[in-house]
Amino acid sequence: MNKKIELLNLGKKDYKETWDFQEELFQKILDKKIQNRRENKQEQTPNYFLLVEHPHVYTLGKSGDIKNLLLSEEKLAEKGATFYKINRGGDITYHGPGQIVGYPILDLENFFTDIHKYLRLLEEMVILTLAEYGVKAERSKGETGVWLDVGTPFARKICAMGVRASRWVTMHGFALNVNANLGYFDNIVPCGINDKAVTSLNVELGKEEIPMQEVEEKLLKHFKALFETEFVS
């Protein structure tokens, strides 16, 4: 089992270009697994973790409802945003500047074969990171992602998640609002949930801006511990 993960920080990158790159890495792992089975080999499969910040974009998961996008194509263009229907789970979400997006592209057979556990560990990584800032985050039953003030009229989501998996290989991942422009969420029904708000770490802390690299380092530290792995570059 290969528990090492190649870390690729893509900086600011177009959503479609990043999605294509994810698909390329995802297929590379699948091809290796298929080859191993056909040829009865035990060659190691690679793992990747992409960190990226996207320009304004809305993405709709395969089980999502297009009615949850509240903008016309013309209005999207006016706001400098793009839109894609994609092949992850979940409904509609927004990505943009001030948001840390992570795409772990892992062969879970190198770690554990349990998608439920995988999602819970991603949530835990975010919960532990936010705790370092004095923010108490938690899970909301039946709603993937990370939330604040669950069970109250003030419940709000700070991190969205949606993944795809095939033959235990994962792609897509999480989006944590750090310094996000929350106005862009007004153009959708986030994740198809219309009775809860969205928030960002800088808003919760009452600060104009939180250093993105600092938050990234904390996320990676907790991911490394939870998945008992190490990053290589």
Residue positions forming the annotated binding site for substrate: 88-95, 160-162, 173-175
**37 to each of 40, 84, 222, how far by Cα in Å?**
5, 34, 33
Q: Are 127 and 138 contacting, i.e. CB atoms less than 8 angstroms apart?
A: yes
Q: Where are the alpha helices (DSSP H) in 112-228?
A: 115-131, 201-205, 212-226
Tell me which of 25, 191, 219, 220 is the catalytic residue.
191
Residue type, 189: V
Residues 6 or more apart whose Cβ sits within 8 Å of residue 222: 124, 125, 128, 129
Q: Which residues are annotated as a binding site?
A: 88-95, 160-162, 173-175
Phi/psi at 125 (5° precision):
-55, -45
C-alpha dihedral (52, 58, 166, 50), degrees to nearest 10 = 0
- Please indicate whether residue 191 is annotated as part of the active site: yes
Across 67-215, the runs of DSSP E, i.e. the strands, are 82-85, 92-95, 99-105, 137-140, 143-148, 156-166, 169-177, 197-198
Separation CA 44–CA 41 (nearest Å): 9
Which active-site residues does the annotation give?
Answer: 191
